[in-house]
A = this chain, B = another copy of it.
Amino acid sequence: MDVARLAGVSPSTVSRILNGTAKVSDDKRLAVLAAIDKVSFAPNQMAQGLKKGRSLTIGIVVQDISSPFFDETLRGIDDGLKGTGYASVIVSGHWNAEEEADRVRLLLARKVDGIILLSGRISDEAVLGFSSQRPIVSTGRALHTRTALGFKTDNEYGAWLAVRHLVELGHRRIAFISGPTNNHDADERLAGYRRALAESQIDIDPALVVEGNYHEASGMMAMNRLFDTHQQFTAVFAANDLSAYGARLALYRKGIRVPDDISLVGFDDLPGSSYTTPPLTTVRQPMYDMGRIATQALLRLINGDTVQGEIPPVELVVRETTRRVR
């Protein structure tokens, strides 16, 4: 080590000072510190990692690097990592199980100390399998082993909240723009929609539920399909905010006022949803908190500590796209 020579000590001594591993006499400490400063030395993390068996890096798997849906969660993770010395490498599974599994293997090869999986598409079994190599915490699943932990938001309840809100405002013809089929969350939101209607003795009209894929364009098209088939309705519940944005635009194009003519509610409460025109009534998922909590949990798993998976519940945020039916 360069610094060691410069300070006239052995590499071990430098290491001891860097890590506070053992007592070192003050004169040597000073000399070493001076040398470190002089060369502006920073230990090679790869070498450290190789030796210590930990990389001080965690892996994060998202599905789309450029989606507002993941932004808040990433911020939560970032904050959760603050001051821990950990950094994160972020990879994307692109909503595809195969690719996602590949990414996880890639992270494992990079010797990340743990993995956070956001909206993963791989099976629980796959997660459990990977978790034998490194601890994993994942959103959207119910898991709880010594090395794998899941956090689940209650989609069914959230959807129920949204629809009940509309029902309470007097709406009875409520359209639903769903998420993609074969998506677990989407199924649950549909179930919540159904239950809320059933509880209010409102018949479910299949013609009123139209499929989307969580993107803006699909919300717009879904809305247009509703119009094209001449459906009657006074409110629409979109399975997520993005498709609500699309629906909103379709409404605007038709000259239909929100909320005066039609009420609209979304799901997620993306950062942008307080600044739509008008601000969107939606179901809030605590994404930031999830990121933070997941991170803290992962760090505990990495240390072999016990954890528990509790996150704040979803809640209805009433803004300005819903009103009493007249």
Contacts and interface: CB of A to CB of B under 8 A. Distances in A.
B75 A42 contact: no
A243 to B, nearest CB: 10
Contacts of A67: 71
Interface size of A as a range: 35 or more
A68 B70 CA distance: 11
Interface in A193-217: 216
B57 A66 contact: no
A252 interface: yes
A195 B45 CA distance: 50
A322 to B, nearest CB: 16
B71 A68 contact: yes
Interface string A258-301: 00000000000001101111110000000000000000000000
Contacts of A72: 66
A246 B42 CA distance: 44
Interface of A: 42-47, 49-50, 55, 57, 65-68, 71-72, 74-75, 78, 87-92, 105-106, 108-111, 216, 245-246, 248-249, 252, 271-272, 274-279
